[in-house]
Structure 1
Amino acid sequence: MRLTALGVALLAASAVHAQDVDPQEVAYGEYGSVESSLSGAPGDAEAGANVASTRGLGNCVACHQISALDAAFQGEIGPPLDGVADRWGEAELRGIVANAKITFPDTVMPAFYKSTGFIRPGDAFTGKAGTEPLPPLLTAQQVEDVVAFLMTLK
């Protein structure tokens, strides 16, 4: 019985990943909004705060000031994210995190859920161009987690 429960749990976990929207298949609205979850699962605001403040993940604080996070050296390049959930809805925030250039064509913000169409991707420290499709900077679930976190910033 215990092995059956473990098997069911593994199938459920793999089913969540099977529902991820491929980065090339994301349906953006006219102004860049993404209405549907990219992972098929709700975001976790606590995990999103971790992504936003971790250098090897989203590292939102490198460019944005987020008072809710206890992170040193917060950025001033992008707009402050305090109150962002009062300015944007969930679909708009999902689109901005996934690929901000659709909403703001001149932004320097990276597309966190994109795998093709790059201008100058590098292949680590080899000096050679990367081969597309490249893995997105964040997973579908990490995008959902960041959006859940941003929705707490009112």
Structure 2
Amino acid sequence: MARLPLVALLAAVAFAACAPAGAEALRPYTVVGDAIPQPLTGTKGDATRGRALIVERSSTCILCHSGPFPEQAFQGDLAPSLTGSGARWSEGQLRLRLVDAAHLNAATIMPSYYRVDGLTRVGTLWRDKPILSAEQIEDIVAYLVTLRN
């Protein structure tokens, strides 16, 4: 259990490193079971942009996750590897994990990247703003579903 304070600290640092997506209004979505089946934007994202977002340190993904990113020397080990995510989860399941991981696990250290309500201890600059835009969520989902091994 000594690792829990370190995990919480790293999650806070990762969250603080993010730049909020801006003042765009959140698009409505529907959770069905353990997934958000429909894209937030009404269209699928771009996998190339999604990969670029994942390996960009400001998006925080690889601060906690590792994956098939040989160009990144330092990858996280606090969360599951992203390798094989497309084989483990459906597009809708991946979308819910990005939008609001706490919906599935209230004790998760993963930030809710597209939720603004009901959050506590949120820095002033990030209040009422999603961390990622709907387009960024869809781009990341589009890339993650390609990771089958």
Shift, 1:103, TM fit: 1.6
Q: Give me the whole-angstrom Cα distance separating, in 2, the residues matched to 1:28 and 1:72.
A: 36
Q: Which residue number corresponds to residue 77 of structure 1?
A: 78
8 Å CA contact 1:46, 1:149 repeated in 2:
yes
Q: 1:55: Cα distance to partner?
A: 2.1
Corresponding position of 2:144: 150
Normalising by structure 1, we get a TM-score of 0.74
Question: Quick one: percent identity of the two aligned structures?
Answer: 33
Letter in 2 for 1:40: G
Q: Residue 50 of structure 2: SS of its match in structure 1? A: helix
Aligned residues: 125
Deviation readout 1:59-106 (Å, 9 max, x if unpaired)? 211101112452121000001111111110001001101111112222
Deviation track 1:28-80 (CA, whole Å, cap 9, x = no partner) reads 1232x101110112210110011111122x22111011124521210000011
Is the CA contact 1:53–1:69 (under 8 Å) kept in the aligned structure 2? no
Matching of residue 28 in structure 1 with residue 69 in structure 2: no
CA 1:151–1:83: 2 relative to 1, 3 Å? same
Is the contact made by 1:38 and 1:140 (CA closer than 8 Å) also made in structure 2?
yes
* Structure 1 residue 142, shift from structure 2 partner: 0.3
**Residue 78 of structure 1: SS of its match in structure 2?**
coil
Aligned pairs for 1:39-58 (under 5 A) are: 39-56=41-58, 58=59
Structure 1: 5+ residue stretches without partners: 1-19, 125-129
Q: Which residue, out of 128, 132, 139, partners 1:138? A: 132
Distance 1:21 1:92, change over 3 A: farther
Greater mean deviation of Cα atoms: 141-150 or 46-55? 46-55
Q: Is the 8 A contact 1:41 1:141 kept in 2?
A: no
The unaligned stretches of length 5 or more in structure 2 are 1-23
- Give the TM-score normalised by structure 2: 0.77
Q: Which has the higher contact order (CA 8 A, sep 6+)?
A: 2
Q: Secondary structure at the match of 1:135?
A: coil
| Partner Cα separation in structure 1 for residue 72 and residue 25 of structure 2 | 31
The letter for the 2-side match of 1:138 is L
Runs of 4+ more than 2 Å apart: 20-23
